[in-house]
Amino acid sequence: MPEKFAVVDLFAGPGGLGEGFSGFENSFGSNPFSIAFSVEKDPAAHSTLRLRSFFRQFGRNPPAEYYDFINGKIKEPDWDALYPQHWDIACTEALLLELGTESVRRQLDSKIEVIRERYGGNTVVIGGPPCQAYSLVGRARNRGVNGYVAREDGRHFLYKEYIRILERLRPAAFVMENVKGILSSKIDGEAVFTQVLADLRGVGTGEDSYTLLPITKGSNGSHLQNSDYAPSDFIVRSEEFGVPQARHRVIVVGLRNDLAANSQIKNHRLLIKNGVERTTVLNVLKAMPKQRSGVSKGHDDYASWHAAVSQAVEKIQRLPTNAAVSLLKDIQSRASSILEKTCSESFTTARFVPGASLVDGSCSSQLQKWILDQRIQTLANNDTRRHMPMDLARYLYAAIYSEITGVSPKSTDFPSELAPAHKNWLSGKFSDRFRVQVWHQPATTVTSHISKDGHYFIHPDPEQCRSLTVREAARLQTFPDNYYFKGNRTEQYVQVGNAVPPFLARQIAEAVHSLLVVDS
């Protein structure tokens, strides 16, 4: 019988890493990884995590009520009343806790002892400590805080709790993820990531210590012939693994040395197999239902939206012919055709359109299988957000520019009449303040900033004249369509932006499994 591994998911967010591990199937068609427990402190993300845990309890036969709920046919049922045993397991598995306190340590330590007794060394720890203190944006924000002292920011050292759990559990393997900014982060002149690696290498002794592995793609390993890698070797570029997003993150994989001695490690790297095709925004968004944006001021009905778009087109048409943009006439012509199309009977008039879960036919078969669920009749978390009328003009202009040129316009490509009242607009610091996610490229990194406004995440279809929905962002993150995000829309955006792409996590799980079970 194939070996089973218990997974402990720390700082889990909405569960991207856990979804990848729990969704991996081995050659026997079974899942060797089972989530023992996951820990998340944010209530909305925890609610998402718990609901997904409930969903997984049913294997290939989730209850009809779940699909009625996410298809919008019914309000969310009382799961505890309908399926008390499954719901109880989900509540036991998904824990709403803040790591780092003594009371939480005691609670988790008791769970760890149970896992050790049941699984022995067949365990895996996954997760990424909070990244705000390491990210470039977070560090810039911290510098503006009066009296901020990096060494006193507990977020810098939450990874220590991750390491403490490694010490107690001694898992077969671990996966630690964080933002690329950790590579350049320093405290009192000391490189944070260098200390993180030293602490990871310091877990255990002898066979109970760990070999640290960067991730690479291919079948022949890399140029490295030993474990003397640079910090940058731990950067994983998601677009190289079939994710429709240029998301670059630091991921460290650790393999316990008693297993490392028997595993097929190529040049001290964790190898992910070739074969997943390059994926773009078009592959996962093009076939989704077309929906109009909302209007943030006044009434939000089709008539009000159409009036706002008409004003946006008029602004574009009034731009002087000596504008700096050489293709202005083409943009104006396209804007006029869009306005004419909005008056046709076939044009969508809704901010939320029921529709089946579809992807473009050119999308890789592996990703299609991962995202799609034939039981989905209406995409959940897919209503559009409202935008200010002036932003609609900018979105329309930018999307048309992108449609014609194949690239998103920079601030210097905007006529001054459409520029925002921002003193640094032309300084170069905000050159891509309004950024279109172009069809034929992977998206730029989906971040939690999408919860604040949609300026960095403009939909590539100018006829829709809007930013991305939560579901569209989730598709760029490769969450399955049956993955439901709880909380209000702002909280949903934050969850999606902070997550690890599950499709990438599934590939990592497969590679880790190949080292844990050599004959798999």
Q: Is 91 a catalytic residue?
A: no
Q: How far is CA 304 from CA 187, 235, 260, 297, 373, in A?
A: 52, 46, 63, 9, 35
Residues 306 and 351: their CA atoms lie apart, in Å, by: 12
Catalytic one among 131, 343, 363, 465?
A: 131
Structure tokens at 250: 């630091």
Task: Answer yes or no: are the C-beta atoms of 55 and 480 closer than 8 Å.
Answer: no
Element (H, E) at 271: strand 270-272
- For every residue of 191-208, DSSP letters joined together read EHHHHHHHHHHTSSSGGG
CA–CA separation, 500 and 20 (whole Å): 9
CA end-to-end span of the chain: 11
Distance CA 263, CA 266 (A): 9
Enumerate helices (H) and strands (E) in the chain, giving the number of each: 18, 14
242 close to 499: Cβ distance less than 8 angstroms? no
Q: What are phi and psi of 33, to 5 degrees?
A: -110, 130
From CA 164, how far away is CA 251, in angstroms rounded? 19
498 contacts 487 by C-beta, under 8 angstroms? no
- Cβ-based neighbour number of residue 445 at 10 Å: 17
Dihedral sign for Cα 407, 411, 412, 413, please: positive
Cα–chain-centroid distance for residue 421? 31
- Whether residue 404 contacts residue 441, with contact meaning beta carbons closer than 8 Å, is answered with no
**For 76, which DSSP code?**
P
Closest CA to 504 of 237, 267, 286: 237
Token match 């799609």: residue? 372
For residue 252, give the 3-state DSSP assignment. Answer: strand
Structure-token pair, residue 499: 């997550």
Measured CA distances, 319 to 323, 324, 397, 411 (Å): 7, 10, 11, 16
Between strands 5-10 and 33-40, the pairing is: parallel
Q: How far apart are CA 237 and CA 241, in angstroms?
A: 8
- For strand 210-213 and strand 248-256, is the pairing parallel, antiparallel, or unpaired? antiparallel
Q: What's at 156, amino acid-wise?
A: H
Helix axes 328-341, 389-405, angle to 10 degrees: 120
C-alpha 401/C-alpha 515 separation (Å) is 48
Strand partners, 250: 178, 235
- Catalytic residues, which ones? 131
